[in-house]
Amino acid sequence: MNEEMNKQQEAEVKAEAPVETMEDYAAELEASYKAFDERHFELPETDDAEGEKWAEFAQMMADRTVLNVKIAEAVKGGVVAFVNEVRAFIPASQLSTEYVEKLEDWQGKHVDAVIITVDPEKKRLVLSGREVEKEKKAAQRKERLAQFKAGDVVEGTVDNIKDYGAFVKLADGIDGLLHISQISTQRIKHPGAVLKEGQTVKVKILSIADGKISLSMKALIEQETEEEEHETFDYKETAAATTGLGDLLKGLKQGAGMSVIPKTKDQVDQWRSVMFLYDSALKKLNTKIEILNNEFVNRYDHNPIEHIKSRLKTADSIVKKLKKDGYEVTIENMMDHLSDIAGIRIICSFTSDIYQIADMIAAQGDITVLHVKDYIQNPKPNGYKSYHMVVTVPVYLADGPVQTKVEIQIRSVAMDFWASLEHKIAYKFEGNAPEGLLRELKECADVVDMLDKKRFYFLHVINDKLFVTK
């Protein structure tokens, strides 16, 4: 993907900045020398000293020697300067990287230039100040570029929007390509659907190669999602959510999220109604899960669920998540694009119980499973194992049922302990824990996995009545 992004960026640069050659200012050069000859300037005859002088010019050109020359006069198509008493021509297009409006304004000024053409036979010496400026700017850009590295999270301004992505200005002379595939976790048809020129965005630097920077907003969204999946909530271990509508509204009155979510009485009423839906959905699912657990006990004489935790996302967390995902902070976007406003965590005794509980939930006629992330079969690199599912459950109101999203996380007791530990470490080090500590955390996850398997083994031993006590 990075290779594709770089090719697109290179094509864009080439289209906007065509490369100039001597042919582009050949007419200027000829016109200048013609005007020069018409004024009867006599060229000295070539002798050994003169030959050495032109040989020196050739060496200067090869060495890219920077010469500080004074502009003697403006002529047709450029300006004239002298190098070792030899007339030199600087075409208007080679005078500066900026557009030159009046050549006369340059008369008497000193310019840093390099030799780009040496023609002893025709006594023609051509200089370029533009090349020197380009090299200086390239060196300055390299210096500014050195302050960035892959993995950095930085702010920038959307400078230019294309069909394939957007160029984000990170510093003076430094921009990066935010490819369309890296803007959002959602599929978008055009970058303009999410971004606008002049907008300030937070991005993660994916890579820096050949002076080109590849950026991502999507990576930050995924990172935040991971953190939230491991978030330690202030749960109350009951079937009801800890955060009630009263608490939410109390928080709003104190200013949490009020700058962007509910501003008027109508908006507050709407916010209250929406959060009522999520609160009701949690209560309904908690009741269902408790009933399923009791049925499991009666049928198999085994309690698969150790405990259930529930939570509602805070207003501040909702606002932060919407902004990270690139959405305007509205109640409509909150309901459409966030699937973890209401969350339930089910802690099971054994890994095998996880899939049974998940199947029992999915089999409920009024529950629709939207999507599943099986981190048990496909663990995260850090060792995290859990089963995540997003469902909708109908909340029956006076006007009829409203399908409401709830995220369900199902994990073992041992993995719940590990996830709590991982969260504390991530919070302590602000997501930048030492590599050695991360390796130890991964080893701990492997031990947790082994413990889960051992627990499952002993369960079978107990059930088969093979357990021998001394």
Burial of 135 (0-12, 13-18, 19+ CB in 10 A): middle
Query: What span, in angstroms and rounded, lies between the C-alpha atoms of 346 and 310?
Result: 9
Query: What span, in angstroms and rounded, lies between the C-alpha atoms of 82 and 71?
Result: 8
Question: Measured between alpha carbons, how far is residue 133 from residues 17, 22, 66, 114, 137 in Å?
Answer: 16, 18, 11, 10, 6
- For tokens 């210096």, name the residue: 143
- For tokens 């080893």, name the residue: 443
Helices (H), 313-392: 315-324, 331-337, 351-362
Per the annotation, the verdict on 155 as an active-site residue is no
Query: Helix, strand, or coil here: 122?
Result: coil
Query: What span, in angstroms and rounded, lies between the C-alpha atoms of 335 and 322?
Result: 10
Burial of 301 (0-12, 13-18, 19+ CB in 10 A): exposed
Say which residues have a Cβ less than 8 Å from residue 354's Cβ, sequence separation at least 6: 348, 376, 387, 410, 411, 412
Say which residues have a Cβ less than 8 Å from residue 318's Cβ, sequence separation at least 6: 257, 261, 334, 338, 341
Query: Helix, strand, or coil here: 244?
Result: coil
- Measured distance between the N- and C-terminal CA atoms of the chain, rounded to whole angstroms: 63
The radius of gyration of the chain from alpha carbons, rounded to an integer in Å, stands at 35
Tokens of 5: 């992004």
Q: Of 318, 228, 340, 310, whose CA–CA distance to 271 is shortest?
A: 318
Tokens of 454: 């051992």
- For tokens 């302050």, name the residue: 147
Side-chain-side CA neighbours of 402 within 13 Å: the count stands at 17
Query: What span, in angstroms and rounded, lies between the C-alpha atoms of 32 and 91?
Result: 9
- Angle of CA points 238, 241, 246, to nearest 5°: 130
Q: Which of 28, 131, 407, 422 is catalytic?
A: 407
Do β-strands 400-412 and 387-397 pair in parallel, antiparallel, or remain unpaired? antiparallel
Catalogue the active-site residues: 407
